[in-house]
């Protein structure tokens, strides 16, 4: 399994330095650790810049759309936000058409989904924020099919990485060890997720571990599938009911391919939905809104329930390290593992993929420092959204400030006003779909609308339309 590490030299008369550098870059080899969504996106990006890309995955990957052992979270509800859908389409042109042909359900996130916040649903309208309702195995299979078709990508399945190979002075990673064999490369990217061994590997090489930020959310969730019928939710494609600081229970119900609903019921700090059908339905009856309960109490169940726990959101600050080995990167959940109830993971992965593509196009010098900084910028927005909202619950363990308390109060007022105001509803959806930074909801025009509603909540007014303000 040994592949020799080498540096290519070219001396082609009349070839520019830039062109020659590009040829050398394309002759190099890269290794991706992990074949989940982050690994697939990474491999697809690297294939544009490296002559050979090897994906090392401990699972034997299925050819058809099915749940795999190494991605147990795939059994639960997943969301591909509008920002993620756009990024994946840029990285894999034509992917949206493939997903539609495979059964994914197209949806406008503002028009076709019920978003229940602060006692009511956000205003509904045609937003142009288009996405898909689909299962995690469906999208992962579609992306994997694309990556496997690339002529310079190969998969080593059923293989576990034992550690990194480095130069004698440990300034550069030059490959990985697998089952006693050595596999050499010019770049190694860790996409192994929350259980990444990179902090330990760095310490063994004489580097500092990254600072790790944790927000303890004590999340537990249970998922069941039900048969979809056209009359359910009056034809809407989803109901999103966040947990509240008081009740600590919430849920999401999304249409999927195969005429199914996937229903994930969520609880914090000791609240967890039972797996038995009667207990699951009863739990749904206590959610802040009745939409899920009204469907599943009469719907046909499919298969058995499954449960999972998520103790804490974790962010590793690789961008703050003053020393990092050349020839090595970290990406995806190995950098930041979010509270899954916000559905941000796949979108963040796609946006990080775009950032990696841009960094590689700029050249290989100080690649790790440049990429980790840009990945941190990608993570900043969803991290702020998730952590800020989680800290509304007094039991959540994490840093609080007066600013966080103000933002949470402000967002509650925005959601209340957005029941009628499409401008405010759109402002929220753009941030939630990672298409705009959180501070955009505090732009003067938006803040004025929120303040007007907070000061005069009983004043009757016509529902606001998007044309009334520029977002």
Question: pLDDT of 72-126, one tens digit each?
Answer: 787 899 878 899 999 999 999 999 999 999 999 999 999 999 999 999 999 999 9
Q: Which fold has domain 97-135+216-312?
A: D-Amino Acid Oxidase; Chain A, domain 2 (3.30.9)
Q: How does pLDDT run across 240-260, given as a tens digit for each residue?
A: 999 999 999 999 999 999 999
17-71+137-213+314-386 belongs to which CATH class?
alpha beta
| Mean of pLDDT values over 182-189 | 97
User: CB of 323 within 8 A of CB of 208?
Assistant: yes
Report the C-alpha gap between 401 and 409 in whole angstroms: 13
3-state SS, residue 431:
helix
Helical axes 402-417 vs 444-455, angle rounded to 10°:
80
Q: How does pLDDT run across 263-305, given as a tens digit for each residue?
A: 999 999 999 999 999 999 999 999 999 999 999 999 999 999 9
Q: How does pLDDT run across 399-452, given as a tens digit for each residue?
A: 877 778 888 899 999 999 999 999 999 999 999 999 998 889 999 999 999 999
Q: What angle do CA 138, 140, 143 make, to 5 degrees?
A: 110
User: CB of 461 within 8 A of CB of 420?
Assistant: yes
The structure tokens listed for 302 are 């499919």
Report the C-alpha gap between 204 and 316 in whole angstroms: 17
Per-position b or e across 441-471, b if 16+ CB within 10 A of its CB: beeeebeebbeebeeeeeeeeeebebeebee
H or E element that contains 376: helix 367-390
The pLDDT, as a whole number, for residue 423 is 97
The pLDDT, as a whole number, for residue 456 is 83
Q: What are the residue boundaries of the structural domains of the chain, listed by start?
A: 17-71+137-213+314-386, 97-135+216-312, 402-468
The pLDDT, as a whole number, for residue 73 is 80
Report the C-alpha gap between 74 and 64 in whole angstroms: 14
Query: Looking at the DSSP assignment, which residues form a beta bridge with residue 250?
Result: 266
Report the C-alpha gap between 69 and 92 in whole angstroms: 25
Q: How does pLDDT run across 333-352, given as a tens digit for each residue?
A: 999 998 888 888 899 999 99
Task: Say if residue 354's pLDDT is above 90.
Answer: yes
Q: How does pLDDT run across 5-54, given as a tens digit for each residue?
A: 333 222 223 333 334 344 445 669 999 999 999 999 999 999 999 999 99
């Amino acid at each position: 399994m040994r592949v020799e590490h080498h540096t290519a030299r070219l001396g082609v008369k009349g070839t520019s330095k830039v062109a020659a550098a590009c040829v050398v870059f394309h002759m190099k080899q890269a290794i991706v650790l992990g074949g989940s969504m982050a690994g697939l996106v990474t491999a697809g990006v690297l294939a544009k810049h490296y002559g050979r890309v090897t994906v090392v995955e401990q699972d034997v990957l299925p050819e058809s759309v099915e749940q795999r052992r190494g991605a147990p979270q795939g059994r639960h509800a997943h969301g591909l936000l509008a920002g993620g859908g756009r990024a994946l389409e840029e990285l894999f042109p034509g992917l949206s058409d493939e997903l539609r042909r495979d059964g994914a359900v197209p949806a406008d996130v503002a028009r076709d989904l019920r978003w229940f916040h602060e006692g009511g649903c956000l205003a509904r309208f045609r937003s142009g924020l288009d996405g898909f309702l689909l299962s995690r195995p469906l999208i992962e299979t579609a992306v994997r099919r694309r990556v496997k078709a690339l002529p310079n990508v190969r998969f080593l399945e059923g293989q576990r990485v034992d550690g990194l190979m480095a130069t004698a002075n440990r300034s550069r990673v030059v490959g990985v060890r697998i089952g006693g064999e050595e596999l050499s490369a010019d770049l190694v990217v860790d996409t192994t997720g929350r259980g990444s061994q990179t902090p330990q590997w760095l310490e063994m090489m004489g580097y500092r571990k990254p600072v790790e930020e944790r927000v303890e959310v004590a999340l537990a969730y249970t998922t069941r599938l039900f048969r979809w019928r056209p009359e359910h939710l009056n034809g809407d494609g989803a109901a999103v009911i966040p947990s509240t600081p008081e009740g600590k229970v919430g849920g999401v119900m999304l249409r999927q391919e195969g005429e199914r609903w996937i229903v994930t019921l969520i609880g914090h700090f000791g609240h967890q939905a039972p797996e038995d059908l009667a207990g699951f339905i009863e739990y749904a009856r206590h959610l802040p809104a009745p939409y899920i309960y009204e469907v599943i109490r009469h719907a046909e169940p499919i298969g058995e329930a499954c449960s999972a726990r998520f103790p804490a959101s974790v962010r590793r600050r690789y961008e703050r390290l003053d020393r990092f080995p050349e020839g090595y990167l970290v990406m995806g959940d190995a950098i930041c593992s979010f509270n899954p109830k916000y559905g941000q993971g796949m979108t963040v992965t796609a946006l990080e993929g775009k950032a990696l593509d841009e960094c590689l196009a700029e050249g290989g010098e100080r690649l790790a420092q440049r990429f980790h900084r840009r990945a941190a910028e990608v993570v900043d927005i969803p991290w702020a959204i998730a952590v800020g909202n989680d800290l509304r619950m007094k039991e959540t363990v994490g840093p609080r400030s007066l600013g966080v308390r103000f933002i949470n109060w402000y967002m509650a007022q925005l959601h209340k006003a957005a029941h009628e105001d499409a401008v405010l509803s759109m402002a929220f959806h753009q941030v939630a779909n990672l298409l705009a930074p959180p501070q955009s909801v505090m732009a003067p025009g938006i803040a004025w609308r929120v303040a007007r509603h907070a000061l005069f909540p009983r004043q009757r007014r016509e529902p606001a339309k998007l044309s009334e303000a520029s977002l």
